[in-house]
A and B are shown apart, each in its own frame.
Chain A
Amino acid sequence: MSVRPEEITVVPRGPEPGGKGGAYRAFGETLRGLRTTMSQMFTKPVTIQYPEEKTPVYPRFRGRHRLHRFEDTGLEKCVGCSLCAAACPAQCIRVVAAENDPENRVSAGERYAAVYEINLARCIFCGYCELACPFDAITMGHDYEMADYNRSDLIFTKEMLLAEPIERAPLRREGE
């Protein structure tokens, strides 16, 4: 089958490599690169003296999770519905619910999370749990310093997640 001329696309090619022209061009490009390098040499360095200094994070940064309480009643927002566990693609959340004792409420609903554990060794910080939660009980915090010596220490329990975290990561300022 013959090719019709309108079907042909012409791909323009650069000059052949090699020869004198090539050498000049390479030298010119190197100079252009060096200009960038030189100009950076006199700006402030971006390197941070971690851990003395911390990288500031954006407000929507997805760090270590936090569980929340209602400010007025102090009850836990989490009702132990397990939706976060269902949404979690890394399957690192374990919820065991129990029935509230009306005299001694833990959460506002009929049920509460008797066990709430996140295995941060497996968490991929996708934030799906936060999205799934119908009560805004779990949110992703800003803490990203979670290294530890034991894998089992990376399983965060409900008490640890509810506790007011030591805010170590500074927030990035507006426009920064």
Chain B
Amino acid sequence: MPRTQPNRITLTIDGREIEADEGTMLVDAAREGDVEIPVFCYEPKLGEPVGACRMCLVEIEGIPKLQTSCSTPVRDGMVVHTRTDQVKEAQESVVEFLLVNHPLDCPVCDKGGECPLQDISMGWGPDRNRMVDQKRHFEKPVPLSPLVAIDRERCILCYRCVRFSQEVSEDEQLQLLERGDATFVGTFDDRPYIAPFQGNITELCPVGALTSYTYRFRARPWDIEQGGSVCTLCPSQCNVSFTVRDEQVARVLARDNPEVDDGWLCDKGRYAFQAMYADDRVLGPEVTSDGHSTPASWQEAEETAAEGLASAGSRTAILVGDASNEEGYLLQRILRQALGSGDIDSRRGPGVDGDAALKLADPAISAQTSDIDTADLVIVVGTDPIQSAPSFDLRVRKAVRRNGTALAVASDRPGALEGGATEVVRFPPGGAPAFLEELAGKVKRGRAKTGLAGLIADSEQTVIVWGERIVQGAGGRAAVEALVELSEAAGLADQEGSGLIGIPDNANGRGLREVGCLPDAGPGLSPTGPGRDAGAIREGLESGELEAVVLFGVDPIRDLPDPEGWRRALEAAGHVVAFSLARNESTEFADVLLPLESHAEKDGTVTHPDGRIQRVRPSARRPGEVRPVWQVLTELAAMLGSSTGITSTPEALEAVASAVPFYAGLTDSEIGGRGVRWQERPAAKDLGTPSPDLTLYATAPGPFSPLGSGAAGLEADEASVLEPASGVGRSHTDSSGGTTPPSSVSDLPTPKDGQLLLGTYPNLWADQVVESSPALRFLVPAQRLEISGPDATRLGLSTGDEVSVRSGEESVNARVAVRAAMPEGACFLIEGTPADNGNRVAGEDGGPTLVEIGPPEVRLELVTSGGGPEGDEAA
């Protein structure tokens, strides 16, 4: 259903001429014309108005009875009165009725001061209450969930929380129970309300009935300041507003941006702010000497870091995880310009390389997030948004529920969205490329009437949401080709509102790619000589070919495949500089440990998966000795002999904008509070033009050229660097050589007897920030092995059994979870769990691998007090 341009009509409200779009609700039209009509139950984010509270009654000429303005669409020539005696009387009675059972305990209520009920009672209510009888009583406050407390006496039964649970997050756990004045909000059997988006109900509740345990009684609205920023805990990059008291974040609220998050936040984004003040946070620079890490001055730490990096020179590699565009840009610039190396990676495995990223970034085949709302067909391939980018989950559900969008889910692991899908396709782990190739072929031939291909043929607007995982490992290149082919065959380029949205693994995965944190592409995805990818960096460090490594916002021992290998690699590395928010296993190996800023302290930009460049803005004080990281990086660059000339954050953005041709001319004010998609700016046509920055960089020798001979490799590569590109879709200078394995779809490992094909998936809660946030600790997942029913029967397993999953030398323990709809012969583990990390048995490059299931290994668990990664070494 294409977006339509509504007609403008004129109506009169309280004697004012107001122009509005036809079909908008009267309240909204009135607000546009500066007339305020009080509402309780109306919340457009929740979908169709329900007209439950009657607070919004108005008089419309020609209609004898008062009408609810929240559910009356405007018509041309309507004459509306909101202040007549009749309306006033109605409003007063509604407020009086609402207050009949309300305890009026505002001084002890947490909502006091920011409470719509208070505001409306003051503004529109009668000034006294005639109620003299007993009010209803409930036990209060009781936990509705470990995160939310409910005070049922205060509830005005507006339905908002229930509607959220039923119609937005569709977890369907909240219900109104009982009848009449005994009605209350609760869950079946009083079970705790556990769902990934539950925090939103505390923001929806117009009274103090639902309050967050993390914010209860922490502050009043006049004690706080709100600071807008962007949550960078996952790729959805929801817009948030930090509530800051005493210069510390006390709460995270959603900041409505219909183009990004629709005004919702997941609980990780809402509650993981606690990690900013956790004990494991790195608060100042530290330098390790004689095996002891001691606090150091910034000067000393930077000098030690620079010395080590300078002596390693081109034998330095950088791994980037959580970083802003500016930080990513500066990192790759230090590496390429000052150290003459090209070994930088920001991905988990050899997934989207420079060439692929360039193809997929073509504005013609890119969709924007809100296109999902209006699409005829949404295809989700190889990702489960609830785990990888939760706000996309809500977005897709909304499209299906409200717009009747057809949904197709194609994945290896059964995901949360499948319940509402018209079409579900299951492939084995690593089978995405084959699936995409087949689908692209079918669509191209155009004969399919049924199945997914048929759906694509029937739909005008198609949005394909794909996860970076599908282009990883063997077959990755084929998957990219197939995606591009599919989008061509489906005509995504010609159809407004159609296109691809790729969900990267990293929160700012897209931004980091575009500013040059790829081994084979510099800023603006311009090809550079091939460098090592993450896996090759690990091997290089282990074999001694690489000397130094910079870890930036990444804990490779936890986040990347082959943790054991990474342990060996960091052990072997001569010089490790770790930038990290918190202490973790990898930072133990650091020679220099430097603190990072959290997303409430940082000033910079990030790029949303759909290309929207957004600003992360500082609102809280940096704790301890923490300093702006861009500053630290420019100082490091200067010490290494390549001064950047950057002295402020706007200059840092300017440097990024001039290095990335399609970001050209970007400024803070243009990005503003809502962000701007680069595809919509005139500079987008420069996609594919080589970055002017390339002339600055001494290109690194490729991974297989002799090392230590720096300059020799340099000359050979110079030509390829300066070679002018011919536009989008050109072939890459060295795309199949070196790091990216040539791919063919058929070389998936075939399981032998007793073996299963293992896939791993990221779990939203398997993250250090979750463990460091006391409120969220109950969500930290224990490792579980998901297998299909037939496989379980064959192996004699049932849900809850403890087993070990072995691949080669490595094994992890897990609890069996038999799941329906699982592909047979496959099994799944979670990546990055604190204990029994699935990465240990994952394939080399993060792809699928064969595993054997056996009895659980006996382990001595190292008992650590809370938080940090639990010891999971084999005894």
Using a CB–CB distance below 8 Å, which chain A residues touch chain B?
Answer: 79-83, 85-86, 95-99, 109-111, 134-135
Choose the segment among B217-225, B453-461, B495-503, B650-658 that binds chain A (4+ C-beta atoms closer than 8 Å): B217-225
Asked if B107 is at the interface (CB within 8 A of a chain A CB), the reply is: yes
Using a CB–CB distance below 8 Å, which chain B residues touch chain A?
Answer: 105-108, 110, 112-113, 141, 216-220, 222-223
* 6 residue pairs, one from A and one from B, having the closest CB atoms: A81-B107, A109-B108, A97-B217, A82-B220, A111-B217, A134-B107
Contact A81 B108 (CB under 8 A): yes
Contact A97 B218 (CB under 8 A): yes
**Inter-chain CB contacts under 8 Å: number:** 43
Contacts of A111 in B (CB 8 A): 108, 110, 216-217
State A97–B113 Cα separation when bound (angstroms).
15
In whole Å, how far is B248's beta carbon from the nearest beta carbon of chain A? 12
- Given A79-B108, A81-B108, A134-B107, A110 and B141 touching (CB < 8 A)? yes
Contacts of B218 in A (CB 8 A): 96-97
A to B CB contacts below 8 Å, 21 in the list = A79-B107, A80-B217, A81-B106, A81-B107, A81-B108, A82-B223, A85-B220, A85-B222, A95-B220, A95-B223, A96-B218, A96-B219, A97-B217, A99-B217, A109-B105, A109-B108, A110-B141, A110-B217, A111-B217, A134-B106, A135-B107
- Given A79-B107, A81-B107, A135-B107, A86 and B220 touching (CB < 8 A)? yes
State A83–B220 Cα separation when bound (angstroms).
9
In whole Å, how far is B124's beta carbon from the nearest beta carbon of chain A? 22
State A110–B113 Cα separation when bound (angstroms).
17
- Given A81-B107, A109-B105, A86 and B222 touching (CB < 8 A)? yes
State A80–B218 Cα separation when bound (angstroms).
10
Contacts of B108 in A (CB 8 A): 79, 81, 109-111
Query: Contact check: which of B107, B216, B219, B220 meets A109 at CB < 8 Å?
Result: B107
Main secondary structure, interface of B, reads loop
In whole Å, how far is A99's beta carbon from the nearest beta carbon of chain B? 5
Contacts of B112 in A (CB 8 A): 81
Contacts of B216 in A (CB 8 A): 99, 111
State A83–B109 Cα separation when bound (angstroms).
12
Contacts of B220 in A (CB 8 A): 81-82, 85-86, 95
The closest CB in chain A to the CB of B149 belongs to: A99
Contacts of A81 in B (CB 8 A): 106-108, 112, 220
Contact A82 B222 (CB under 8 A): yes
Contacts of A80 in B (CB 8 A): 217
In whole Å, how far is B697's beta carbon from the nearest beta carbon of chain A? 52
- For the complex with contacts A82-B220, A95-B220, 14 further pairs of A-B residues with Cβ separation under 8 Å are A82-B113, A82-B222, A85-B220, A86-B113, A86-B220, A96-B218, A97-B218, A109-B105, A109-B107, A109-B108, A110-B105, A110-B108, A111-B216, A134-B107
The closest CB in chain A to the CB of B140 belongs to: A110
State A99–B220 Cα separation when bound (angstroms).
14
In whole Å, how far is B272's beta carbon from the nearest beta carbon of chain A? 22
Contacts of B113 in A (CB 8 A): 82, 86
The closest CB in chain B to the CB of A80 belongs to: B217
State A20–B105 Cα separation when bound (angstroms).
78
State A111–B106 Cα separation when bound (angstroms).
12
State A86–B118 Cα separation when bound (angstroms).
16
Contact B223 A85 (CB under 8 A): yes
State A77–B141 Cα separation when bound (angstroms).
20
State A111–B216 Cα separation when bound (angstroms).
9
State A79–B110 Cα separation when bound (angstroms).
11
The closest CB in chain A to the CB of B220 belongs to: A82
In whole Å, how far is A14's beta carbon from the nearest beta carbon of chain B? 56
The closest CB in chain B to the CB of A99 belongs to: B217
State A110–B857 Cα separation when bound (angstroms).
49
Contacts of B141 in A (CB 8 A): 110
In whole Å, how far is A89's beta carbon from the nearest beta carbon of chain B? 12
State A95–B107 Cα separation when bound (angstroms).
13
In whole Å, how far is A38's beta carbon from the nearest beta carbon of chain B? 58
The closest CB in chain B to the CB of A81 belongs to: B107
